[in-house]
Amino acid sequence: MTTRVTFWGVRGSIPTPGPRTIRYGGNTPCVSLERDGHSMVVLDAGSGLRVLGHELMQREVPPGRVELLLTHTHWDHIQGIPFFKPLSVSGVQVRVWGAPQDGIPIENILRRQMEPMVFPVPLRAFAAEIEVHDLAPGSFEIDGFDVEAVRLRHPGVTLGFVLAVRGDGRKLAYVTDNELGAGGDYPVSADWREQLVASLRGVDVLVHDAMYAEHMIKTRAGWGHSTPQQAVEVALEAGVRRLVLFHHEPEHDDAAVDRQLEAAREHAVQLGGTLVVDAAVEGDSFLL
């Protein structure tokens, strides 16, 4: 049984269409995991979700259910929801999971995103069956996967997800919008990094925030993001097999992302080990 992972959006903060970002892509975060005979699992609902929706609408047999896991509710992680075409199809089930923010349930936050002042169609006006569930750090199960949600160092309550395929044990970790450096003041435990590394142990593919270039991090400490070198270090510490740099900085054109990737690969070689490092490309997919 294989699991196909596809990147529908890999850019951080704001969509960046245009010729300068054509190779890596300009849509904001959205990643899908698909196993035959199971629901589709979707990680984040950035503008890439719109593209995924169009793809699903063209299939002869669209998935009956979509499980949508949100890391947090910053714009770039939810802005695709109003434009996800399968929401307009009756009979489609969409379950959304995400952490409440400041005591406000995730459903209320998504409703606010679609209030008449800012969007013409309310969340509950869509034809699909939509369930929205609050999520806290910890373990749970969704169709075909054992999932661990871990708290990340990022403004608000932000979750990373470690998904283990039930049956074959292959693991993907999706850790975006995460500050590995010392900056920021986040309500996490003193042994946060050890706990994160423990959760990432045995992971086959780690998709990690690598937004800032090394020269940018000094002025952006506390903004909730990491550099490629920091991502390499945590990947090596946890012994993961492959690292995929993600949440590309919107001001980085394709050549700049190339340089980020090059720097990360060099750093991995210097530190030794056999870590494979890639940068996420919109539209790419692989078998886990």
Smallest gap from Cβ 18 to Zn ion, in A, equals 19
Consecutive H or E run containing 197: helix 192-200
Q: Which is nearer to Zn ion, 74 or 85 (CB)?
A: 74
Angle at the Cα of 196 from the Cα atoms of 136 and 235, rounded to 5 degrees: 135
Alpha helices in 59-187 (DSSP H): 75-78, 106-113
Of 44, 67, 76, 282, the residue at the interface with Zn ion (CB under 5 A) is 76
# residues contacting Zn ion (CB under 5 A): 4
Task: Report the residue from 11, 38, 50, 74 that binds Zn ion according to the rule CB under 5 A.
Answer: 74
Instruction: Please give the backbone phi and psi of residue 278, each rounded to the nearest 5 degrees, phi first.
Output: -135, 170
Supply the minimum distance, in Å, between the C-beta of residue 224 and Zn ion.
6
Q: How far is the CB of 238 from Zn ion (least distance, A)?
A: 22
CB of 55 to Zn ion, least distance (A): 22
Name which of 177 and 253 has its Cβ closer to Zn ion.
177
Considering only CA atoms, which of 219, 222, 213 is closest in space to residue 258? 213
Q: Which is nearer to Zn ion, 101 or 195 (CB)?
A: 101
Helices 254-271/228-238 angle, 10° precision: 40
Closest-approach residue to Zn ion (CB): 74
Please work out, in degrees rounded to the nearest 5, the angle formed at the alpha carbon of residue 73 by the alpha carbons of 134 and 99: 20
Provide the terminal-to-terminal Cα distance of the chain, rounded to the nearest Å: 10
Q: Which is nearer to Zn ion, 247 or 267 (CB)?
A: 247
Radius of gyration of the chain (CA): 18
Smallest distance, Å, CB 155 to Zn ion?
A: 7
Read off the DSSP letter of residue 29: P
d(CA 78, CA 50): 11
Contacts to Zn ion from residues 145-184, by CB under 5 A: 177
Of the pair 6, 73, the CB lying nearest Zn ion is at: 73
**Minimum CB distance to Zn ion smaller for 80 or for 86:** 80
Residue ranges that bind Zn ion, judged by CB under 5 A: 12, 74, 76, 177
